[in-house]
Amino acid sequence: MAGKLKPLLKNILLLLAACAFFFLCAEIACRLFYDEKVNYTPWIWEKLQEDGAKTFSLTDQDTYVNKDNGLYYLLDSNSLNKQRYARFNYQKTVKKEKTAEEYRVAIIGDSFTGSSGLSPDEKNYTAMLSEALNNAGQKSFNILPFSEGGINTYQELTILKEFLGDIKPDLVVLQYCDNDVEAIKTPYGVNNHNLWIDSRTDPIILDKQIVPALPYLPKSLSKFLLSNSAFWRFFSYKLNIISTYYVDATDTNSSLESLKQMKLLLASKGIPLVVIDFPPAVNEQDYCGYVSGEGGKKLQDEIRKMAVELNFSFLSLCDYVDDIHSLQSSIESNHYHYNTEGHRLAAEALKKEILNITKNEE
């Protein structure tokens, strides 16, 4: 018996040695000859090499992107990274018992809600709204903004579902924008809406790369292999990266359906919904009128119609200003976002609507 085991053990050792030699050669070859930046849009790769995970405003590395909804999740718990999207102390709010006097207003939005276009010392509409409502002296209002630049309505609906049970809002505001009809943005980057780079598995955020998770492995093990091995990154890129050319990056119907689902979800819990539209202030088109492609007045009219049918409030900055271009940010070259006057108008419009809703609730 011992004589038969020796050749078997020898063969196993030779096989292991051959595998180790193969992986060593493959690792050396990948480190020397494989250019990982081909898997990214150039500006994303350059930012990653310069800023690392800070490119995505991450404070830690234990994060991955859910390939189905484009949102950031915690690696250890597979749960949404709620603090990333909360523009307030999420944990403190959740742990704090809600008093009878407190009226919580949750605001979900994109880069407008995240203060893009304003200088650090300028207040955005959520801060202005908080001051205005609390100065009204009717209730103790707690404004809880959630935001992320470039997210669409489906992603905002996903965020709403995640935090709704935690913070128990009395009213929800959705800050809408014309780009809410766009497809979910991939972390690998989009080049002029022509080349779309995506992944078959959830992208894991490493120090200087975004790499698709290895299939069938726990994400923690996958991250370890991908962080330390150029070969496993090469293997995962080749197995999972998808590059496709496409023409249309918008889906208005999906955006409107997500808005409908948001209203139905809130209605089932007796929570009012207010939608406020922030049309882009760019020079190229007047988004308060009819525009080429998706958006503009046509989109606003569709939301107004839905608001009447489903009984939610709809506000648009177009109704509060003669020329949307007058609200252009002075610190942006593309003038997409608003100056402080635009935020003041939004805060005033929301204040009036929210006070009217709370009055009717009494």
**DSSP annotation string for 259-292:** HHHHHHHHHTTT--EEEEE-----SS--TTS--S
> Collapsing DSSP states into helix, strand and coil, what is residue 241?
strand
Q: Are residues 199 and 288 in the same domain?
A: no
Residues 46 and 175 placed together within one structural domain of the fold: no
Whether residue 149 lies inside any domain: the answer is yes
**Is residue 12 one of the residues assigned to a domain?**
no
Residues 163 and 148 in one domain: yes
- Residue 6 in any domain: the answer is no
Domain holding 303, by residue range, is 88-182+251-361
Task: Give the list of residues 6+ apart from residue 284 with CB closer than 8 angstroms, or none.
Answer: none
pTM of the model: 0.89
- Give pLDDT, residue 49: 82
What pLDDT, on a 0 to 100 scale, did the predictor assign at position 103?
A: 95
Same domain for 131 and 206: no
pLDDT of residue 191: 44
Tokens representing 359?
A: 């009055």
- Which residues have a Cβ under 8 Å from the Cβ of 141 and sit 6 or more positions away? 103, 104, 105, 130, 133, 134, 354
* pLDDT of the residue at 45: 80
Same-domain status, 138 and 273: yes
Query: Within this chain, do residues 64 and 150 fall inside the same structural domain, yes or no?
Result: no
Residue-level pLDDT at 215: 92
Task: Quick: pLDDT tens for 230-246.
Answer: 999 999 999 998 776 55
Q: Which of 196, 220, 245 is the last residue of a domain?
A: 245
| Pairing relationship of beta strands 171-176 and 273-277 according to DSSP bridges | parallel
In this prediction, residue 189 carries a pLDDT of 65
Q: What is the pLDDT of residues 282-341, one digit of tens each?
A: 988 999 999 887 889 999 999 999 999 999 999 999 999 999 999 999 999 888 999 999
Could you tell me if 65 and 168 lie in one domain? no
Angle at 26 between CA 25 and CA 28, to 5 degrees: 65
pLDDT at 47 (0 to 100): 79
Query: Which parts of the chain sit beneath pLDDT 50?
Result: 190-194, 247
pLDDT number for residue 51:
74
**Among residues 227, 245, 263, which one ends one of the domains?**
245
pLDDT of residue 192: 43
Give the pLDDT score at 174. Answer: 98
255 and 162 belong to one structural domain: yes
Residue 116 and residue 237 share a domain: no
CATH number assigned to the domain comprising residue 314: 3.40.50.1110
- Per the structure, how many domains does the chain have? 2
